[in-house]
Amino acid sequence: MPTISAFYGILIRMFFNDHEPAHFHVQYAEYQATVDIALLKIAIGELPRRAQELVLDWAELHQQEFLDDWRLCMNKQQPNPIAPLK
């Protein structure tokens, strides 16, 4: 599972050839969540409120990049890194 970005202790990853809908995985300390890229909301799992806000606001800025990376992963190609939140 390639790591696409990391910031403030938050890891953003995607699996190769994963199931629909397009999504990415978030790990923060002991928390894990899956974020739906089209809807920009947590589909599975949970994050602390502040981490969730950071991830979803950041994902909105990079939504097209996530969709591009999703297509690459579906073709078993290495996704491109996405600039971390600063």
Q: What is the pLDDT of residues 14-70, one digit of tens each?
A: 999 888 999 999 999 999 999 999 999 999 999 999 999 999 999 999 999 999 999
Q: What is the DSSP letter of 83?
A: P
pTM (predicted TM-score): 0.93
Q: Which domain holds residue 60?
A: 3-74
Q: How many structural domains does the chain have?
A: 1
What is residue 81's predicted lDDT score, i.e. its pLDDT?
Answer: 97
Would you place residue 86 in the very low, low, confident or very high pLDDT band (cuts 50, 70, 90)?
confident
pLDDT at 26: 98
Tell how strand 3-7 and strand 31-36 pair up. unpaired
Q: Is residue 49 part of a domain?
A: yes
The tokens describing 73, both together, are: 């992963």
In a domain, 42, yes or no: yes
User: If you average pLDDT over residues 72-80, what whole number do you get?
Assistant: 94
In degrees, to the nearest 5, what angle opens at C-alpha 29 toward C-alphas 36 and 41? 15
DSSP 20: S
